[in-house]
Amino acid sequence: MRGIKKRNIGVAVECFIRKGGKYLMLHRHPTKKIGESIIMKIKKITVQGNRVSIISHTENEEFISLTDMLKAKDGDFFISDWLRNRNTVEFLGIWEKLHNPNFNYGEFATIKSKAGLNSYKISVKEWVKKTNAIGLKATAGRYGGTYAHKDIAFEFGMWISPEFKIYLIKEFQRFKEEENQRLTLGWDVKRMLAKINYKIHTDAVKGHLIPENISKKRTNIMYANEADVLNIALFGKTAKEWRDENPRKEGNIRDYADVTQLVVLANMEGINAELIRQGMSQPGRLVQLNQIAIIQMRSLLGSSSVQKLMN
């Protein structure tokens, strides 16, 4: 068996909304708010060389891409081959019984009676429509495919191979541990920030970390993703520009930010939300956020408290 290598895991790629039982990719409008209950984020882990997507709901539920996982199975197979198996149907029925008060047991009984027959096949969409199941989801859009609750995805991993299931569980656990570490670090940084003296010590400033003033050409460009407004203000480039410059690196531009940049980024997100609420245009916000980023980076880099945190 191949060893499990430690790696950085990229987070937060796109935002989606749920509409008519499907998930559609969403480009956020700079002046319109998005309800937290409909946002989900795409994350990825690597299992035996296969990139596997994870969608994380605001209720802290993880759904794993069966479509991505299927690529690891030898031969020409479909998810419907797994779904027609009697053991699979029984497992799904038990899971839905524990988690879904609206599960349609009548339709489930009909499906169960036919499961395993050579002539019987059922798709994920048919399964969800007939039984009101919530453990499997068929999504559309850029990251379209079949997703399953992590409990079900682990069971699907066993169908691929016992080895794959073990690696999937290990990588998912590692992913959750690293995610929890990032959340803990974020809390520690914000708590430290409250104690920081904002006096600027010019001789302690690390010039290469301080953002440059953005050009007029940059301010005249409308960015479809609000995240890129913050990226331009702090890093001087969009997420795509960073990926084009660093094709061999995993993750995204924010995964490689240091602690001072993460603190400033957290502050800028709150400030940007307030500026949007006030109705300020995107070019105006970009200029103001850039100036805020410069001032705060200078202050943070001159703080002894932050220096201790970085060391």
pLDDT tens sequence for the chain (311 residues):
444 343 433 333 344 444 444 444 444 434 433 333 334 568 889 999 999 999 876 556 889 999 999 999 887 889 999 999 999 999 999 999 999 999 999 999 999 999 988 888 999 999 999 999 999 998 877 667 999 999 999 999 999 999 999 999 999 999 888 877 766 665 555 555 544 433 333 333 344 445 677 776 666 666 667 788 888 889 988 888 999 999 888 888 888 888 788 888 888 888 888 888 888 888 888 999 999 998 888 887 776 666 665 55
Integer Cα distance of 282 and 258 in angstroms: 26
For every residue of 216-252, DSSP letters joined together read: HHHHTSPPSSHHHHHHHHHHSS-HHHHHHH-TT--S-
Nearest in space to 9 (alpha carbons), one of 56, 39, 53 = 53
What does the pLDDT read at residue 189? 59
What is the value of pTM for the model shown?
0.51
Integer Cα distance of 210 and 11 in angstroms: 24
Which residues, including other chains, have CB under 8 Å from residue 179's CB and lie 6 or more apart? Answer: 9, 11
What does the pLDDT read at residue 258? 82
Which residues, including other chains, have CB under 8 Å from residue 128's CB and lie 6 or more apart? Answer: 21, 136, 137, 138
